[in-house]
Amino acid sequence: MKTTILITYVIATISLVNSSVCASELGDAIEADYGRLDALFRHFHANPELSLQEYKTSDRLAAELEALGFEVLRNINVTGLVGTMQNGDGPSLVIRADMDGLPVQEKSGLEYASTVTQVNKEGIEMPVMHACGHDMHVATMIGVAKQLANNKDKWQGTVHLVGQPAEEELGGAKGMVADGLYEKIGRPDYALALHVIAKYPAGKIIISDGLVYSSADTVRITVRGVATHGAAPHRGKDPVVIGAQIVLALQSIITREVSPMEPALITVGAFRGGTAPNVIADHAQLDITVRANTERTRHYLLEAIERVAVQTARAAGVSEDRLPIVDVWPNGSPTTTNDAGLARRVSSAVSAGMGEDALLEWYQSDMGAEDFPDLVNIDPPIPSVYFEVGGTPPELIESGTWGPHHSPLFKIDSETSIKAGVEAMTLAAMELLGRP
């Protein structure tokens, strides 16, 4: 009995020592590579591109991957790409990084701040900014590529590094799958992704063993009325008044139909109607974002929104041929939920390599969403882990002066977060890929 315990203790001790040595070597290698990664990050930050227009970003990403020995496939859903490295027999792993920026004018004060403008899909020239950290994601992926290419003796199998377009529109992942991503590379055994998060201290790793992000859907309600003179409202049906009633009635879905213990959200972000103060228009439009933490609640909300819109119009006397048109946009995204067992494996690998204090407990503070699930929710689903990397200096978090995501003031501690992201993702990849 005592002999068995002693042997187990010795083996565990040797394992921890070896892990520590490997972790130290990995950290040193990432430190030595950081100058290149910093230049790459600054380049991506200063040159953001809108969704499905990431041509220069895709070109640079492809060139970096090819220089490291990856075989690159291009033009998967317009600008998407995948870099593949085979290293003997073993599991197949996808690591995904999103590439697109946002139509935001940067006010971060950074010396390499974006001054880029780009014409959007509606033909309007817009300022563009990496206001959500996708520049960090692609720079980190190149750092991971370097470590995997230089450490083939520590893993075996196949790794696919996916540069994904159009995450901000929540359609890029779905588009890559529809464009034959897995027909081209085969179905992977696992998938990983990360996101830098401003609410957490820079360099900390956050891994949930379940829910990570909420679902997101966009709904447009076209309220159809009957136009008339503003001085004779009784001769028409006012879509602005009906639309306002719908806005208020939608909130009763959340407060009176969904359990108070179940997170759910309906936000009317845009309300357009009318052209002049003395004219009652013939239509109005409501654009709505809908969020939930379960697929059951998600589908209930979408059905309830249509019911409320239609019945509110009926109550106002709108004829059956003029009832509201309710459109659910096709680029909605389901909840992002980690495979629990896989998340624990990744957490253990990160903890062993970076120390227990590198990990923080996950918590949800808003109902943000991601389209990574559309990359893995195929039939059958690919086991996946999506983790977060803290991006803000602790003193800024304590003072409350950090810039939130999608804000003109958004900026991160790029050095600390990129180094941590490269190390955590490399450790996770080596854990999931086969050992020589």
- What pLDDT, on the 0 to 100 scale, is given for residue 22? 63
pLDDT digits (tens, 9 = 90+) for 104-140: 999 999 999 999 999 999 999 999 999 999 999 999 9
Percent composition of the chain: helix, strand, coil (DSSP 3-state, to 5): 40, 25, 35
Query: If residue 386 lies in a helix (H) or strand (E), which one and from where to where?
Result: strand 384-392
In angstroms, the CA 138 to CA 424 distance is 15
**Residues designated catalytic:** 98, 168
* Mean pLDDT within 211-239: 97
pTM: 0.91
Q: Which two tokens stand for residue 68?
A: 């490291």
Q: Whole-number mean pLDDT of the chain?
A: 94
Q: Say whether pLDDT at 307 is over 80.
A: yes
Tokens 């996950």 correspond to 362
Q: Say whether pLDDT at 2 is over 50.
A: no
In angstroms, the CA 326 to CA 303 distance is 10
In angstroms, the CA 203 to CA 358 distance is 7
Domains, in order of start, for the chain: 2-213+335-432 (3.40.630.10), 218-328 (3.30.70.360)
In angstroms, the CA 267 to CA 291 distance is 9
DSSP 8-state assignment for residue 328: E
Q: Say whether pLDDT at 146 is over 80.
A: yes
| Cβ-based burial of 125 (10 A; exposed 0-12, middle 13-18, buried ≥19) | exposed
Query: Which has the closest alpha carbon to 23: 435, 379, 349?
Result: 349
Across the strands, what pairs with 9? none
Q: Say whether pLDDT at 11 is over 70.
A: no
For residue 78, CA distances in Å to 73, 99, 171, 303, 413 come to: 12, 12, 12, 33, 31
* Mean pLDDT within 100-106: 98
Q: Say whether pLDDT at 416 is over 60.
A: yes
* Mean pLDDT within 287-302: 98
Q: Say whether pLDDT at 10 is over 80.
A: no
pLDDT digits (tens, 9 = 90+) for 374-387: 999 999 999 999 99
Q: Which two tokens stand for residue 24?
A: 């130290």
- What pLDDT, on the 0 to 100 scale, is given for residue 435? 81
Q: Say whether pLDDT at 8 is over 90.
A: no
In angstroms, the CA 56 to CA 136 distance is 16
- What pLDDT, on the 0 to 100 scale, is given for residue 305? 98
